[in-house]
Amino acid sequence: MPFVLKRFDLKEETLAFVWLMRTFGITQGEAQRIIDRGRLLCHGKTLPDKSARISGEVEVVYFEAQSRGNLPILTTPDFYLFDKPSGILVHPKKMTTPYSMLDEVRHFGGQHANAVHRIDKETSGLLLASRHKAAERFLKGAFERKAVQKSYRAWVQGRIEKSFSVDAPILLNNDYGPTKHKVFIHRSGKRAYTTFHPIRYDKTLDATLLECIPHTGRTHQIRIHLFHVKHPILGDPIYGTSYEIAEAYLEERLSPKERQRHTGADRLMLHAYSVEFDYKQHWKLFSCSDLSQEKARITPPDKREFNLTNGWKIESEKPEEVLS
């Protein structure tokens, strides 16, 4: 587990945040965040404020990276590029999270390295991580300014022969209970625009491999847009399944066999394939993984227990509020 408890015996009284900075080689802001989150204890008690002075028995809950061998596929003086496997979080969700990509980022880059954008746990593919704070500020700013272009690959249900676009606003769901959907297509949502280009159709699997290019960066944008046009991504346990299957997945009760039967694959068949941006030079980078080679993970159509007539209505929306 990457969060560990370290014990120290301080002979001289000192400011807590200063001691943290010197001991762990971190910035003042990082030291103060450790105190704010209750991860610094003196004589078994959390500190009341950031200006507290400490001495004697001190304990720190500290993130200590533990690599599992997911090496970066590209290393520069400013950033790393990783090919994230499906099913792995980028950041630990809680202190008991056993492993995340942050373990690899910090293992290779040290305490100041950090992932600069988000990628869903279920999605595989390219993850960009900064090696120092200046690169982190620049790259995070580039994502916020929409100065980074990304493309994805996805295996979807059904046959698609022509390129198309979806320009449909997305609204975050404030009531996750009724449907388990994290987002909706809704008129009052934020604009979301995605283009799709078919790469190949597999008749045996009744599945199309698509190139997906999001021009905006909304939560679950590609997933909800493909669900909206009735070509859900195979393996998606939320969009295109029943309430019961989505609930079982979220509660970690859905077995791999059930997932294959009800969603069409044993993982979300969505992969972050390319990233393009400017940082000291122009970069256009591609994944080393090929989603087209993962067809074996797709369930044959005659063994799937979902179809295009089930699960499409978003029950918590009124019909007149849903875009056609």
* Residue whose tokens read 């600069």: 116
For residue 264, give the nearest of 155, 153, 121 by alpha carbon: 155
| Lookup: tokens for 224 | 């909800």
Instruction: List, by residue range, all CATH 3.10.290.10 domains of the chain.
Output: 3-63
pLDDT over 70, % of the chain: 94
> Considering 120, 167, 175, 302, which one is annotated as catalytic?
120
Q: What is the pLDDT of residue 320?
A: 33
Domain with CATH 3.30.2350.10 in the chain: 65-145, 148-321
CATH number assigned to the domain covering 148-321: 3.30.2350.10
Strands of the 40-42 sheet, one edge to the other: 3-15, 53-63, 40-42, 45-46
Give 72-118 as a DSSP string.
-SEE-SSEEEEEEPTT--SS-SSTT----HHHHHHHHH-TT-EE-S-
171 near 189, Cβ under 8 Å? yes
* pLDDT score for 64: 83
**pLDDT tens readout for residues 219-229:** 999 999 999 99
Q: Is 120 a catalytic residue?
A: yes
Please, are residues 154 and 292 in contact by the beta-carbon 8 Å criterion?
no
pLDDT at 238: 92
Residue closest to 39 by CA, chosen among 60, 19, 54, 22: 60
Instruction: Measure the CA–CA gap between 8 and 114, rounded to whole angstroms.
Output: 27
pLDDT of 5: 83
Q: What percent of the chain has pLDDT over 90?
A: 63
Assigned token pair, 219: 């939560």
CATH domain 3-63 topology: 3.10.290
pLDDT of residue 95: 76
Q: Rounded to an integer, what distance in angstroms lies between the CA atom of residue 176 and that of residue 183?
A: 9
Q: Which residues contact 145 (CB under 8 A, 6 or more apart)?
A: none
Q: What is the pTM of this model?
A: 0.85
**Model pLDDT for residues 185-217, shown as the tens digit of each residue:** 999 999 999 999 999 999 999 999 999 999 999
Q: Write down the pLDDT at residue 315.
A: 34
Rg (CA), the chain: 23
10 Å CB burial of residue 153 (0-12, 13-18, 19+) is: buried
Q: What is the pLDDT along the chain (324 residues), one digit of tens a residue?
A: 578 888 999 888 899 889 988 888 888 888 888 888 888 888 888 887 777 888 899 998 878 889 999 999 999 999 999 999 999 999 988 877 889 999 999 999 998 899 999 999 999 999 999 999 999 999 999 999 999 999 999 999 999 999 999 999 999 988 767 778 889 899 999 999 999 999 999 999 999 999 999 999 999 999 999 999 999 999 999 998 888 899 999 899 999 999 999 999 999 999 999 999 999 999 999 999 999 889 999 999 999 886 443 333 333 333 333 333
3-class secondary structure, 264: coil
Decide if domain 65-145 falls under CATH 3.30.2350.10.
Answer: yes
